[in-house]
Each structure stands twice: as C-alpha cells, then as structure tokens.
Chain A
Amino acid sequence: MSDYDVIVVGAGFGGPVAAKKCAEAGLSTLILERAAVPGEKVISSLTIPFYGFLFGPSWIRDGDPPIERPVSGIRNFFVKEGKTFAKDCSFRVPRPFGPRVSIGYTTYCRPFCTWLADRAVEAGAELRTSVTAVDVIKENGKVQGVVTDRGEELRSRMLLDSEGLQNLLGIKAGIRKRYLPEVVELCLLLDFEMPKEEIDRVCGYNLEYFWGMPEEEIIAPLGYGSAVYIFPYRESIHMTIGCFLKAEDEVAPAVRTLDAYYERFFQTDRWQSEYAPHTKLRARIWDTCPIYAGLHPEMREMPTFTDNMLLLGDAAGMEAAAIADGVPTAWFSAEIAADTTIEALKAGDTSADFLSRYDQRLRAHPLITALITDPHRRDLKYAAINVSEKEMRKRVHNGWGFGMMKHLTWPVTKAVVGSMWRKPSIPFRWMNMFNRYYKLYR
C-alpha cells in the first residue's frame, strides 16, 4: 500500500516543476526538502537563460517569478599586467530590442525556489521542509519509496529524484555513481551590495567576464583556466570563479584561504576604479556543479531511471556544458519526468521497461543533448592554461561571444519551430513575457 502516488525529493529548481504537474494531474504528491526554506541550500550564480523561460514550464513564463535583472549581453575583458582591455568578442541584443528582449534573468535561489514550491503547493502538492530522505526503500530489488531522517518510511508508486548533483539517493538506489572529480567544478561565489545607479552605470544589463592571460593574472593559480564572472542583480552583484576539482590526473591545487581566490582580481584596474568604491561584501559561499557530466562518456551513460524511479536535473547529469547553466535543463527534464510519471501511473506500469521512454525523450529534446554535450566552454578552460593571446580570443569568442551563435542557433531554432508547430500563437506569449518581466524588474 502506498502513502503517495508520487514522492519528489528536493524543492530546488527542478523538483517543484515536476511536483506541480503531477499534482495537477490528480496524483497525490509529496515533496521532501532537507532545507527549512526551499532554495536556502541551493547556491548558484545565477543567470537563467532565456530558453529556460521560453521552452520551459508555461506557468513560469506566464507568471511573475522573483527575477532580479534582465541580462541582454556579455562583455568579455582580458587582463594582462593588472590592466583590463579589449572588449571585443562581446555579445549584446541590439537596441531597441535589448534589454527588454533578454538572453537571461538574474535571480536569488531562495526566493525563486520558494516561489516555485509555492506554486506546486497551490496545485495540491504537499511540501515537507527540514526533512531529508536518507535512503530508498527497496523490495525485491525495486524502489518503493524513501526513508526519512526521522526514520519514517514513506511509500510511493513513483519516486522522482531531484536532489541535485550529490545524488546520494541515486547512488543508494544502485543506479548512479559519484560524479568523477574531472566533471565537477567547485565554484566560489561572492555577493556584494552595490547601489542600483552604480550597477546601471558600470554593467547596465551585461554580464562581465574577465579572462586572465595567463589566469594567474587575476586569480591565484587554481589551474585549468578559470575566469571571474560578474552578474548584475537589482542592487547587488554576484561574482563567481569555478575550477575543476581535478584535471589531467591532478587534483586542482587548492587555495588554502578563501581570500586568495580573488586577491589578484581585486588589484585589476577595472575592479579598483569601477567596482571597489561602490561595493560591500555581503556573502561568501560555495558549491559544486557537475558541468561536464554530459561530455564524459561514462558519466553520461549512467541510467536516469529504474523501476518506479526517475532522476531529473543535476541528479540526472543535466547540467549544460555549453554555458554552465543547469536550471533550464532541470525544468525541461522535470516536465518530461512528470509527463512520463502520469502516463506510467495511468497505464499501471511503472517498470523500468515502461519508464525507458523517459530517457529516450530526454535524448530527443531539441535542446537538452545539444546543451549538455557542447565542448566549447571546456576547450576554453583548457585553452586558458597556456595559449597565445590570439587563440585565447578565438576560444572566448566561441565559448562566450558571438561564436556561441554558431553552435546554439540550430538547436534553439529547432525548439522555436517545434513550439510554433504545437502552438502557432506562441511568439505572442514570448513577447508578452519579455515585456512583463521587464516591467517586473522596473
């Protein structure tokens, strides 16, 4: 006897999206979240790219999520001998379209995940916070639910695992392995308060990326070509560096003190003149992300389903190598997981055999495979170790500049055409969204 039709583990970015759809289909749905408040144990830079909103859940697109600022461009800077220069290989939605038409939106995880979880609860899902799923219940080799940290056994007909990259339940269920350190980045994030008018003046609606030539120019040698990324929020900025945990058989040389990470960058001219006088450090936090799981044959081939259980988002290796974003793919996989769950329960067949269609659908999605297997950003990271200036610029152009168009235009076009095929009026919704989000920001 099951307590629920569906148990969803994790109220981060993916979980609530799957839960809402299941609850709307009339399934009794429980979400378990280990944090006291959804999103307060999720750390992300965080710009959610436009395609997540356009091709993700319609209720996010047509709703009023707590976004911070539209982003309509990326400015790449190179740093040599403490001086920033060269803003070529930059990318911007031309005026008058930008910044109203954006390439993404910045946001904080806690309000955003709370907003998502609230929508799932409104749809009828039950949310339990401060509860950790510590193990799966297995009978005759099949997953039947979860055991909580309170020792409670909760049974469900389907288990949707959206616990993020640590994936402890996937490992306990016997279908996943620990992500290898070479596909995982450790990202140190700083949050600064900064007055809105200064952000408008310095960054406007652009993300700013800084490439050291070599990387030691701006950061302590973390190894493997790390850059500094600055994301403008409403009245604050996020600054991130990510470095591989391991590359070329060597564990990344760690910087023992937190300060050392950004010590060099704080000496650069642009930081000193434009940012330093107006910023105040508010938070220093970090997390890992499995950016290159899709590029690693062994990691990529790990199962995303077993009897009575589907994995989604980071837990299923959905982080996009293309531009290091994981939210859109978490949303796409969450919707597909919910659709598959609803069909399986209706058919009364939740066997691995039936659920294998989930994996086929993930692979057939116009964007997911393209995003998780795009190698340009990884090439760029390796390039930054020791290459000529010319090569470095070329790779920045391909990885983060206009060159991105080359490899992302086709999958995005496919997604656009597919959406219009299903619903010809969809471009009006999209324009409506850009306008409404812009107003929300204003």
Chain B
Amino acid sequence: MDESLRQFEDIPGVVWVPPPEEFITVDRDACTGCGDCVRVCLASVFRLREGKAEVARLERCMECAACFFVCEPGAVDFQWPKFGTGYRSEWG
C-alpha cells in the first residue's frame, strides 16, 4: 500500500490521504465549551481544553459534518479537505 496513506484499526475499510491543511477549525471566541461536538464525533476528533473545543485528531475525520450541524453558535468552521484528499472507502 501507498506509504502516505493512513489507516486506523477501529475504523476498518477506510484509508486516508493526508490533507494539505486543516479543514475543520474552531473559533475559540464563538465556542461556548458546551462539548456537543466532542460528544457527537464518532472519530473522537475534538477535545475540550480550558473550557473550549479544539481539533485534536483530524486525521481520523470521516467528513460527516455532524460537528458542523450540531454546534449551535456556529463555532465549527467546516470545509472540505482539498485536492481529493481525506477519507476514501469502497464500502459506502
């Protein structure tokens, strides 16, 4: 397999092409620290630190946008990973 591809044991059937830059970010000023994004993300991408959410493990993201929909104040900025990077799956 291509060396640059990533896989995770708990998410079989998916490979990730590393994106050139972060595509999900949290606006710390708008974040209320409610933790909804942390709770809703099945990939455990977010964590709370000092009462604010931060993106910690974006390399596991499935681009489902649940964090984007669930964040009431709109503090989660969600874009697509560029140039065809991000997750790939044959089994959807």
A binds B: yes
Least CB separation from A243: chain B residue: B40
- Say whether A251 contacts B70, CB under 8 Å: yes
Main SS of chain B's interface residues? Answer: loop
Nearest Cβ on chain A to B51's Cβ, whole angstroms = 18
- Say whether B84 contacts A131, CB under 8 Å: yes
- Say whether B82 contacts A284, CB under 8 Å: no
Report if A288-B66 is in contact (Cβ < 8 Å); known contacts: A34-B84, A130-B84, A149-B83: yes
How distant is the Cα of A110 from the Cα of B74 in the complex, in angstroms?
A: 32
A180 interface residue per 8 A CB criterion: yes
Least CB separation from A187: chain B residue: B64
Report if A35-B11 is in contact (Cβ < 8 Å); known contacts: A41-B63, A43-B89: no
- Cβ-Cβ contact count across A and B, 8 Å cutoff: 128
Interface flags, B36-47, vs A, CB<8A=1, else 0: 101111101000
Least CB separation from A135: chain B residue: B79
How distant is the Cα of A168 from the Cα of B42 in the complex, in angstroms?
A: 22
- Say whether B12 contacts A281, CB under 8 Å: yes
How distant is the Cα of A288 from the Cα of B42 in the complex, in angstroms?
A: 12
- Say whether B92 contacts A109, CB under 8 Å: yes
- Say whether B88 contacts A181, CB under 8 Å: no
Q: Which chain A residues (243-279) contact chain B, with CB distance < 8 Å?
A: 245-246, 251-254, 256-259
- Say whether A168 contacts B64, CB under 8 Å: no
- Say whether B40 contacts A44, CB under 8 Å: no
- Say whether A181 contacts B70, CB under 8 Å: yes
A426 interface residue per 8 A CB criterion: no
Interface flags, A22-49, vs B, CB<8A=1, else 0: 0000000000001111011111101000
A318 interface residue per 8 A CB criterion: no
Q: Which chain A residues (278-313) contact chain B, with CB distance < 8 Å?
A: 281-288
Which residues of chain A are near B65, meaning CB under 8 Å?
A: 165-166, 288
Nearest Cβ on chain A to B91's Cβ, whole angstroms = 4
- Say whether A285 contacts B13, CB under 8 Å: yes
Main SS of chain A's interface residues? Answer: loop
A55 interface residue per 8 A CB criterion: no
Q: Which chain B residues (10-49) contact chain A, with CB distance < 8 Å?
A: 10-14, 17, 36, 38-42, 44
Question: Interface size (A, Cβ < 8 Å)?
Answer: 51
Report if A40-B40 is in contact (Cβ < 8 Å); known contacts: A168-B79, A283-B13: no
A134 interface residue per 8 A CB criterion: yes
Q: Which chain B residues (47-85) contact chain A, with CB distance < 8 Å?
A: 62-66, 68-70, 74, 78-80, 82-84
Nearest Cβ on chain B to A263's Cβ, whole angstroms = 14
Report if A108-B92 is in contact (Cβ < 8 Å); known contacts: A186-B40, A253-B39: yes
How distant is the Cα of A43 from the Cα of B84 in the complex, in angstroms?
A: 16
A189 interface residue per 8 A CB criterion: yes
How distant is the Cα of A36 from the Cα of B12 in the complex, in angstroms?
A: 20
Q: Which of A109, A150, A252, A258 contacts B40 (CB 8 A)?
A: A252
A194 interface residue per 8 A CB criterion: no
A184 interface residue per 8 A CB criterion: yes
Report if A108-B12 is in contact (Cβ < 8 Å); known contacts: A35-B84, A166-B68, A251-B36: no
What are the 8 closest A-B residue pairs judged by CB atoms, nearest first? A283-B13, A130-B84, A43-B92, A254-B39, A283-B91, A149-B82, A191-B91, A36-B84
- List residues of chain A with CB under 8 Å of any chain B CB: 34-37, 39-44, 46, 108-110, 129-132, 134, 149-150, 165-166, 168, 178-181, 184, 186, 188-189, 191, 245-246, 251-254, 256-259, 281-288
Known A181-B70, A285-B14; 17 more pairs at CB < 8 Å = A34-B84, A35-B88, A36-B17, A36-B84, A37-B88, A43-B62, A108-B92, A130-B83, A132-B80, A178-B68, A178-B69, A180-B69, A256-B39, A258-B11, A258-B42, A284-B13, A284-B14
Query: What are 25 A-B contacts defined by CB distance under 8 Å?
Result: A34-B80, A39-B92, A43-B62, A43-B89, A44-B92, A109-B92, A110-B89, A130-B84, A181-B69, A186-B40, A186-B64, A253-B39, A254-B38, A254-B40, A257-B10, A258-B11, A283-B12, A283-B91, A284-B11, A285-B11, A285-B14, A287-B62, A287-B64, A288-B65, A288-B69
